Copies of this chain bind each other. A is one copy, B any other.
Amino acid sequence: MRNISEDTITQAVLASISGCKDDRLRTIMTSLVQHLHAFTRDVKLTEDEWFKAIQFLTNVGHITDDKRQEFILLSDTLGLSMLVTTQNNKKPATCTESTVFGPFFVEGAPEYHNGDDISNGAKGAPCFVRGRVTDMAGQPVAHAQLDVWQSDDEGFYDVQTQSGTGEAHEHRARGRLRTLEDGSFHFRSILAVAYPIPHDGPVGQMLEALGRHPWRPAHLHFMIEAPGYERLITHVFRDGDQYLDSDAVFGVRSTLIAEWVRHDAGAAPDGTQMNTPFYTLDYDFVLNPETVTEVAHA
């Protein structure tokens, strides 16, 4: 370690962490250092480029706060989030696939009953969502907990447009409900629309420099949890959206695309008389049984 050179630096770093007592951390950091150094060698990163990278990460850090998570955006736009999602959620082909979590989930969203309007004042064309949650044999999963969240018709989630947080925060177009005995659920919300990810910061500058747009195809977020099943984090994407082939965060899976059906003014599925056109979405979810880890006997 007294004669560090281009040829010896990587081994010196690896040697320095060889004594790490946390096996998993040592494995992760050993691989990280190897890949980070290999990248730096492959492109022969210059000192100016290194400094630009430092400045970029500094800017990503400084724009990040309790409402904006630019590091997650960076991970999303580099396909890292989707890679982590897919490699950790391999499911049988008959189960509903996962996609990225995204940065806009909020803890503590209000609980609703089936049939409620979760938009809570968020602007958008009315939309009635229905579906069932089942196991792989088609049996209903009763009382499954559904978290739903989405943007308004301008493409903003409530957390992006409000100044309050915690109790002062007004939840709009997000909520939690439970499936009925037959595994079904239904609620009213608003039409999902395409929107750009926040692109007025360093990640937006990166996308522009790369010749990429910041748009996501219209989608509705779901997180579904029930005892005995793997937690499912996914979206339903709106068929026909122009960005399905170029989602800025690489989240689209063809099995998750569904049709939002447009209806003229008239009777909604729940009997409400609608004065304006409205939409309906029907989508069923199939949960994967939880893997039971056997407890080792000492």
Contacts and interface: CB of A to CB of B under 8 A. Distances in A.
Given A17-B211, A58-B61, A75-B50, A28 B43 contact: yes
Interface string A39-50: 111111111011
Contacts of A82: 4, 9
A94 interface: no
Interface stretch (A155-163, A193-201, A241-249): A241-249
Interface stretch (A218-226, A250-258, A261-269): A250-258
A119 interface: no
B33 A35 contact: no
Interface stretch (A85-93, A106-114, A270-278, A287-295): A85-93
Contacts of A298: none
Give the interface size bracket for A toward B. Answer: 35 or more
B1 A86 contact: no
Interface string A175-205: 0000000000000000000000000000000
A250 B61 contact: no
A6 interface: yes
A2 B245 contact: yes
B83 A10 contact: yes
Nearest to A62: B61
Interface stretch (A64-72, A123-131, A135-143): A64-72
Contacts of A17: 210-212
A134 interface: no
B87 A6 contact: yes
A102 interface: no
Contacts of A281: none
A37 B32 CA distance: 11
Interface in A1-60: 1-6, 9-10, 12-13, 16-17, 19-22, 25-29, 31-33, 35-47, 49-50, 54, 57-58, 60
Contacts of A61: 57-58, 60-62, 64, 71
A233 to B, nearest CB: 9
A44 B36 CA distance: 16
A46 B13 contact: no
6 closest Cβ pairs, A-B complex: A61-B61, A13-B79, A6-B86, A35-B39, A35-B35, A19-B211
Given A6-B90, A47-B88, 17 more contacts: A1-B247, A4-B99, A5-B253, A6-B83, A16-B250, A17-B212, A20-B210, A26-B210, A31-B42, A33-B78, A33-B79, A35-B38, A41-B83, A57-B57, A57-B60, A58-B69, A61-B61
